[in-house]
Amino acid sequence: MAGEADTPKDRATPIAAKALRAMKQPQPQAQAAPPDSSTNVTWTPPPGTQVEGAGPPHLADANAGAFNLPDPTAPPGAPTQAVNMPTANPIMHDPLARPYDLPSGGVFYGKYGYHKTVTMVPTRGEQENVIAGAGEDPQSQLAVLRGVMQQCVDLGPIPYDELVLYDWTALVINWLAYCNGTDIIGIRPQHGKCRPITVTFSMSELPCKVLRFAQAGEVANWPPAVPGEEVDDIEAIIMEMEREEGAKGVEEFLLTRDDSEGRFVTGPLPLTGERVTWRLPVVADMVTADDFASRIGSTDTSKGKPLHTFLLALQILAIDGRPVGRLEAMRWASRAATPTLDGFREHTSRRSWGYDTRPSFRCHCGAQFRVRLPLDGAMFRRRPSGS
């Protein structure tokens, strides 16, 4: 965010300080989205790497039909056909197959035996071509990315559409790192109209929240703080130091079995006192949002834009215990006052996990600003040499 507080601890450890602020500040959900309108992000290769040109578009077009993109008209939660179709290259038997544990620890996939370990293989040449040939707009890149990932990542019993977006985001980061042969990335974020800065960092060093069930004798601590609870500066510094001592910024939170239903109710929201029942965002919502975005002709997810409101509305199940449909949820989200909406957004963001995908950087002008990492096909076009 442009012009965030400029404090010594920010200067020393921007990412850790940002993690702390993330706990205190409302944040948009972690779905991959276009960069904030105030920032401009361009992926650049790490030092000493070569940039490959995009693949031939005609080749990509020819291959595009081979990918089973999710059906945007399918209702949320309905498995796409692609999930159940046998794949030409069974991932489990691929010599390059590598396991990955979802940061949710599988706690929200009770229907599927709390499955948490997925299997990934890197992209092959023809898939690279498809990715390279994706259009420039973020929505079509996301659609292609989802399609290719379905070929390269085996979720076991979890239907692709039911994967919670926070898990999906973490999976994308780790899978892209595997495909690229490194998790060091370079970006050139821009603060407002200032000159862009150049930064390289390791994706795995982004702060990451992981979840598991509390065992006997352990106290559940998720979400991590009570709404409105203030942390003073000294406590903040101590918490930050503890976080830095942790394994690469990984924080573990403990859940109760009740938490794992994936449905939550807010406290009384500001101004109206309404209590909103909501569910976690899943991959199917992203597909539905893509369809909505293409119909309204805008992929802008900033606050107040129709797509932002739509994404919020998709999560809303009931208001004061009364079930609402999508249209009514949309009306509620469109008409609610900003403090009420902020209260809702804060509540939902506190129930997020996985990587913090909006790291904070310092501009030449001295301001600290956040950059939403663009998790899309563009990341594939920057590959380290020799990999």
Q: Which residues bind to Zn ion, rule: CB under 5 A?
A: 191, 194, 363, 365, 367
Q: Provide, rounded to whole angstroms, the least separation between the CB of residue 194 and Zn ion.
A: 3
Kindly report each contact of residues 85-92 with a partner whose C-beta sits within 8 Å and lies 24 or more positions away, as own/partner: 87/151, 89/121, 89/151, 91/119, 91/120, 91/121, 91/152, 91/153, 91/154, 92/119, 92/154
Q: Provide, rounded to whole angstroms, the least separation between the CB of residue 24 and Zn ion.
A: 23
Q: Encoding tokens for residue 146?
A: 């989802």
> Which residues have C-beta within 8 Å of that of residue 2, sequence separation ≥ 6?
38, 191, 192, 367, 369
Q: Encoding tokens for residue 213?
A: 């069930």
**Which strand ranges, in their side-by-side order, compose the sheet holding 117-120?**
98-101, 117-120, 153-154
Measured from the CB atom, is 192 or 268 closer to Zn ion? 192
Measured from the CB atom, is 40 or 294 closer to Zn ion? 40
What is the secondary structure of 22-54 as a DSSP string?
A: HHHS-----S--PPPTTEE--EEPPTT-EEPPP
Measured from the CB atom, is 15 or 197 closer to Zn ion? 197
Measured from the CB atom, is 72 or 196 closer to Zn ion? 196
Strands 208-213 and 250-255: parallel
Q: Provide, rounded to whole angstroms, the least separation between the CB of residue 5 and Zn ion.
A: 15
Q: Provide, rounded to whole angstroms, the least separation between the CB of residue 190 and Zn ion.
A: 8
Q: Provide, rounded to whole angstroms, the least separation between the CB of residue 207 and Zn ion.
A: 23
Q: Smallest Cα–Cα separation from 55: which of 120, 148, 184, 187?
A: 148
Measured from the CB atom, is 312 or 363 closer to Zn ion? 363
Q: Provide, rounded to whole angstroms, the least separation between the CB of residue 309 and Zn ion.
A: 30
Q: Smallest Cα–Cα separation from 351: which of 107, 116, 159, 115?
A: 107
Are the CB atoms for 352 and 170 separated by under 8 Å? Answer: no
Q: Provide, rounded to whole angstroms, the least separation between the CB of residue 192 and Zn ion.
A: 6
Q: Provide, rounded to whole angstroms, the least separation between the CB of residue 365 and Zn ion.
A: 3
Measured from the CB atom, is 39 or 277 closer to Zn ion? 39
Measured from the CB atom, is 2 or 78 closer to Zn ion? 2
Q: Torsion-angle region of residue 185: left (phi > 0), alpha (psi -120 to 50) or beta?
A: beta
Measured from the CB atom, is 116 or 191 closer to Zn ion? 191
> Which residues have C-beta within 8 Å of that of residue 24, sequence separation ≥ 6?
225, 231
Measured from the CB atom, is 191 or 279 closer to Zn ion? 191
Q: Provide, rounded to whole angstroms, the least separation between the CB of residue 369 and Zn ion.
A: 7
Q: Provide, rounded to whole angstroms, the least separation between the CB of residue 21 and Zn ion.
A: 18
Q: Smallest Cα–Cα separation from 56: which of 126, 161, 160, 159?
A: 126
CB contact burial 151-174 (16+ within 10 A = b; e otherwise): bbbbbeebbbbbbbbbbbbbbbbb
Q: Torsion-angle region of residue 262: left (phi > 0), alpha (psi -120 to 50) or beta?
A: left
d(CA 364, CA 157): 48
Measured from the CB atom, is 115 or 362 closer to Zn ion? 362
